Amino acid sequence: MVATIVGQALAAARPGDRVLVVDSGSTDDTARRAREAGAEVIGGPLGKGAAMRLAVSAVDSEWTCFLDADLATSERNVPALLREAAAGGTADHVVGDYEYDHPGTILASTFTIYEPLTARFFPEVGHLGANALTGYRAVRTRLLRAAPLPADFGVEAFLNISIALAGGRAEVCHLGVIGSRYRFHGGSMATQIGTRILDMAEAHGRLAPADRPDWDQWLHAGVAALAPNAADQGRSALLSRLFTTVRRPMPPTGTPTTTHLTSHSGI
């Protein structure tokens, strides 16, 4: 799969651009296939954010364009679309939004964890499309160096929030239909995303430390509801579980709560 996105990046590149793949501790042929496709490959540490942080340290361009390696198909050249949006507008942060080729790629963590928490604690982030945690985005490099990127899957939430707090302007770029290998199979990603947002809320004085245990409980209950997933159950079952999970009440400020959640079939 990595050869597909490398080919698109090379087609979109202009003189002076680097097409760089960070091999984040892979145990398959990712590095070899990326080199054969024409990319520059560097070995990196485990963790999506850690790999992105290493890439940022290796570039000196005005913009850094992040791309996911698991892209299988797309209607148009994804990095070219992101490049056009970055060069042709006034945004500091271009977020790639897209349509799904398969119901199993519905981003449960985005709808049930990221969106509710961000709306509550960081409303200035605003709406960044249906795929606010997308791996396809272009960011002014100086903003990526303002604070160290977290090492885990909370990195996209961190970028959305930190850039908004710094006064950066975000723009959504529509990428059409994308085919991806992504499926929601477990709760570690959702936990990392939610924990990052809560950490930032506490650090910025928007969540009182005394209230944090109630929010951690809310997060863990939501992750537990999402975790039993089979990607091929069909759109209706997937959406049913999303709706059940996202309707959970949030803890009222300053009031200890206990979350009771009944799981149903679906995502």
- Asked if the structure places residue 211 within a domain, the reply is no
Q: Domain tally for the chain?
A: 1
Residues of the chain with pLDDT under 70: 102-106, 182-186, 227-234, 253-267
Going along 46-169, which residue ranges are E strands?
A: 63-66, 71-74, 93-100, 137-140
Kindly list the distances between the CA atom of residue 33 and the CA atoms of 75, 204, 264, in Å, as whole numbers in the listed order.
22, 42, 41
- Asked if the structure places residue 201 within a domain, the reply is no
Q: CA Rg, the chain, in Å?
A: 19
- Asked if the structure places residue 209 within a domain, the reply is no
Pairing of β 93-100 and β 170-180: parallel
Kindly list the distances between the CA atom of residue 142 and the CA atoms of 62, 75, 137, 148, 236, in Å, as whole numbers in the listed order.
7, 31, 15, 12, 43
- Asked if the structure places residue 195 within a domain, the reply is no
From the list 13, 171, 9, the residue with the least C-alpha distance to 78 is 9
User: Would you state the torsion angle of the CA atoms of residues 92, 93, 98, 102, taken in this order, to the nearest 10 degrees?
Assistant: 170
Report the share of the chain in percent with pLDDT over 70. 87
- Asked if the structure places residue 196 within a domain, the reply is no
Query: How far apart are alpha carbons 245 and 171 in whole angstroms?
Result: 28
SS3 62: coil
Interval 157-210: pLDDT, tens? 999 999 999 999 999 999 999 888 765 555 789 999 999 999 999 999 999 999
Q: Which domain holds residue 126?
A: 2-184
- Asked if the structure places residue 85 within a domain, the reply is yes
- CATH label of the domain that carries residue 135: 3.90.550.10
In this predicted structure, what is the pLDDT of residue 182? 63
- Asked if the structure places residue 121 within a domain, the reply is yes
In this predicted structure, what is the pLDDT of residue 231? 52
Interval 128-141: pLDDT, tens? 999 999 999 999 99
- Asked if the structure places residue 246 within a domain, the reply is no
